[in-house]
Chain A
């Protein structure tokens, strides 16, 4: 069974530029999560989708971050404009449904300079 796929693996951008990350969850998984993990900290939930609907986006900085999950499968997370403090690893995870174990992709390491 293929795992959660993310791209790109690494990205370096200048502050005020925009960037987008892509995630393809495990086939059949209805729930998709985007997490931000700053070095030395635990993953912070940014947004959670159930199929193509948003369950929770309370910690998503909506003035600069946006995410979508069209057709309830792939998802993209966008940052525009980026700030230095956005430097982190962005992790995508999926689960069969809410309340079950989540599986993570390899993450995208973003560096904002």
Chain B
């Protein structure tokens, strides 16, 4: 079983809409969760991280964590074509850092 699972997509949303990206993890011992954005041919770059149950907002991005359901999500408000990328979810599991396979997001002008 993979430690971190994501729907590969692609997820297509119109410009200005809310994009919702989801991630589940298998090990309840995971403490920290991270969202990275990766443009084609580039390295992953950190968007935000979340440690506690609930929501965490940073600009147009909101991360949501539900440890009981082992579920993490990322909401992108007012999506822009420049948000088109692959979004990677990562979990820190007993100090080991594992990534999901990523969800490709397409924002259509």
Give the size range of A's interface with the partner. Answer: 20 to 34
With beta carbons under 8 angstroms apart, the residue of B31, B49, B95, B102 that contacts A42 is B102
The one of B43, B95, B101 that contacts A104, using a Cβ cutoff of 8 Å: B43
- Considering the chains assembled together, what is the distance between the CA atoms of A105 and B42 in angstroms? 10
B interface residue numbers (CB < 8 A to A): 4, 6, 31-32, 34, 42-46, 49, 88, 90, 92, 95-102
- 10 A-B contacts, Cβ less than 8 Å apart? A41-B101, A42-B4, A42-B88, A42-B101, A44-B99, A93-B97, A95-B97, A100-B32, A102-B34, A103-B46
Given the complex, which residues of A lie within 8 Å of B45, measured CB to CB? 104
Bound Cα distance from A41 to B32, whole angstroms: 22
* Residues in A neighbouring B96, C-beta threshold 8 A: 45, 48, 55-56, 98
Complex Cα distance A50/B95, Å? 10
> Which chain B residues lie closer than 8 Å to A106 at the CB level?
42-43
Chain B residue at minimal CB-CB distance from A95: B97
Chain B residues, CB < 8 A from A105: 43
Taking A48-B96, A98-B95, A102-B97 as contacts, is the C-beta distance between A43 and B46 under 8 angstroms?
A: no
The residue from A43, A48, A50 contacting B44, defined by CB atoms under 8 A apart:
A43
Q: Which 3 A-B pairs have the closest CB atoms?
A: A98-B95, A42-B101, A104-B43
**Majority secondary structure, B binding face:** strand
Using CB atoms, name the residue of chain A closest to B47.
A101
| Given A43-B99, A56-B96, residue A101 in contact with residue B49 (CB < 8 A) | yes
- Residue from A33, A101, A104 whose CB has the most chain B CB atoms within 10 Å: A101
Contacts of B100 in A (CB 8 A): 42
Is residue A107 contacting chain B, with contact meaning CB distance below 8 A?
Answer: yes
A91 located at the interface, meaning its Cβ lies under 8 Å from any Cβ of chain B in the complex: yes
Among A79-102, those with CB < 8 Å from B are 91, 93, 95, 98-102
Of A41, A55, A93, A103, which is within 8 A of B95 by CB? A55
Chain A positions 23-56 with a Cβ under 8 Å from a chain B Cβ = 33, 35, 41-45, 48, 50, 55-56
